[in-house]
Chain A
């Protein structure tokens, strides 16, 4: 796992966490919607911020697959390697 990317992703996710979830609650296995209580509208904003931060472009199917922090990192890695 690329620690730098993980930290970068955490910084983005942090902005959209509801008040009752703290940044310490984020782990690789965290489910964005079920565990971090991020709603689908904010998940879109996370994806858009991820696109800007990593200079990549995500498609609808990436969005569907992006359930956990680990999924997001895998998608980022995949996009960066084909770039």
Chain B
């Protein structure tokens, strides 16, 4: 199964894995979902007595599903050896809060993938289909095979 093998290749693990399931993937973009567990540690402090998912975590979720999963798909077999990735830029707009236990759906559209750099437009929607955040994220992909 294509989706499963991509998730297995992700270099993230709990508590910093923000991908539950991949729903769609092709050379142009990716779509996946994640449920933010109510017990996540950051809710204790963001905010005090009023837990809301931090924007940086929403950005990370967008990047893991929209950028990293897509990058692994685009690189294909080249990701078998020690994949190294780095976020290089993100420009996000946040429109709605995401509360503990909420499910989000992230979709991405490739702007370009050239010279190991992948740039994507990303969007996150909530269960009601409302836009939560959107932006442009880019990262570099390197596997040991090509130095």
Could you mark each residue 56-75 of chain A with 1 if its beta carbon is under 8 Å from any beta carbon of chain B, else 0? 00001001000000000000
The one of A39, A40, A47 that contacts B114, using a Cβ cutoff of 8 Å: A47
Q: Report the separation of the CA atoms of residues A62 and B64 in the bound assembly, to the nearest whole angstrom.
A: 30
Interface size classification for chain A: under 10
The one of A41, A48, A60, A63 that contacts B112, using a Cβ cutoff of 8 Å: A48
- Specify which chain B residues have a CB less than 8 angstroms from the CB of A45 in the assembled complex: 117
Q: Report the separation of the CA atoms of residues A48 and B117 in the bound assembly, to the nearest whole angstrom.
A: 11
B87's closest neighbor in chain A, by CB? A41
Decide yes or no: A48 and B114 within 8 Å by CB, A40-B140, A41-B138 being known contacts.
yes
Task: Answer whether residue B40 sits at the interface, using C-beta atoms and an 8 A cutoff.
Answer: no
Q: Report the separation of the CA atoms of residues A47 and B117 in the bound assembly, to the nearest whole angstrom.
A: 11
For residues 37 through 52 of chain A, which have their beta carbon under 8 Å from a beta carbon of chain B?
Answer: 39-41, 44-45, 47-48
Task: Answer whether residue B81 sits at the interface, using C-beta atoms and an 8 A cutoff.
Answer: no
Q: Report the separation of the CA atoms of residues A41 and B117 in the bound assembly, to the nearest whole angstrom.
A: 7
Interface residues of B (CB under 8 A from A): 86, 88-89, 112, 114-117, 138-140
Interface residues of A (CB under 8 A from B): 39-41, 44-45, 47-48, 60, 63
